[in-house]
Amino acid sequence: DAGVIQSPRHEVTEMGQEVTLRCKPISGHDYLFWYRQTMMRGLELLIYFNNNVPIDDSGMPEDRFSAKMPNASFSTLKIQPSEPRDSAVYFCASRGGILNSYNEQFFGPGTRLTVL
Amino acid sequence: DQQVKQNSPSLSVQEGRISILNCDYTNSMFDYFLWYKKYPAEGPTFLISISSIKDKNEDGRFTVFLNKSAKHLSLHIVPSQPGDSAVYFCAASTGNQFYFGTGTSLTVIP
């Protein structure tokens, strides 16, 4: 099992540009989570999906952020336009339903985003 | 507002001694608590967890203690090894809502 796959691993962009982060969850997992890690706030949950449907996006900081999950094996997190304060490490995580692994999430390696 | 707090950003311990990492939370509705370990340039990996109906869970060198009245949990690593050097995040959950602390960077000195 390859685990959760994220791309790109590093992204450097200029303020105002559109950024798209990608995630492939573990096959068979029906929950997918997007997190942002900063020094000040640690890991913050941005949004999570169940069976490809967004369930809670209350953590998405602004309308500049959007996330989609068009199918069970792919999700994107888009920032448009990007700002320097969006610089952080963004993690994707997935987990199986309650019958598989209660509450344990499996994280991808993260995407380090730098907005200049 | 941080619902899960790790007040010690860093901790250094001698190899072979005990490492104690602490975590406080504010929401009494949390029913499951987890510890994750994170190496540089990698995602967090699950380490150990505890349900709110228990006050202790042990897995090898790792033990998590939960004090619900104080809204406090701790992770004990005995004996500490250099490979344990990493950032440790505690997390608390209710349903699918997860709240993580800011992490404690543990350094185990050989």
Whether A103 sits inside 8 A of B89 (CB atoms) is: no
Q: Does position A100 have pLDDT exceeding 50, yes or no? A: no
Nearest C-alpha in B relative to A31:
B96
Place of tokens 């096959």: A27
The pLDDT score that the predictor gives to residue A90 is 98
For all residues of chain B together, what is the average pLDDT? 94
Take residue B52 and report the two structure tokens written for it.
């709110």
Cis before B79? omega within 30 = yes
Query: Which residue in B4, B45, B93 is closest to A103 by CB distance?
Result: B93
DSSP class of residue A25? P
Calculate how close chain B gets to A64, using CA atoms only, in Å.
22
Cβ burial, residue B38 (10 Å; 0-12/13-18/19+): buried
**Chain A residues contacting B, CB < 8 Å?**
4, 31, 33, 35, 39-45, 48, 50, 55-56, 91, 93, 102-110
Identify the band that residue A1 occupies on the pLDDT scale cut at 50, 70 and 90: low
Residue B74 has pLDDT above 90, yes or no: yes
pLDDT at A68 exceeding the cut of 60: yes
Q: How confident is the model at residue B95, as a pLDDT?
A: 76
- Residue A78 and residue A19 in contact, taking contact as beta carbons nearer than 8 Å: yes
Specify the DSSP class assigned to residue A101: S
Tell me how close the Cα of B46 comes to any Cα of chain A, in angstroms. 7
Question: How confident is the model over B83-102, as a mean pLDDT?
Answer: 90
Q: Does B96 sit within 8 Å of A31, measured CB to CB?
A: yes
- Asked whether the predicted pLDDT for residue B76 surpasses 50, the reply is yes
Q: Using one digit for the tens of pLDDT, what is the confidence trace for A46-66? A: 999 999 999 999 899 889 999
Interface of B with A (CB under 8 A): 2, 4, 6, 32, 34, 36, 41-46, 49, 89, 91, 93, 96-103
List, in order, residues 6 or more apart from A63 with CB less than 8 Å away.
none
Q: What does the pLDDT look like over B36-61, one tens digit per residue?
A: 999 998 999 999 999 999 999 999 99
Number of H helices, E strands in chain A: 0, 11
A49 burial (CB, 10 Å; 0-12 / 13-18 / 19+) is buried
Q: What is the pLDDT of residue B54?
A: 93
CB-neighbour burial class of residue B8 (10 A; exposed 0-12, middle 13-18, buried 19+): middle
Tokens of A82: 């990007």
Rounded distance, CA B36 to CA B24, Å? 15
Instruction: Please classify residue A104 by burial: count the beta carbons closer than 10 Å to its beta carbon, then call 0-12 exposed, 13-18 middle and 19+ buried.
Output: middle
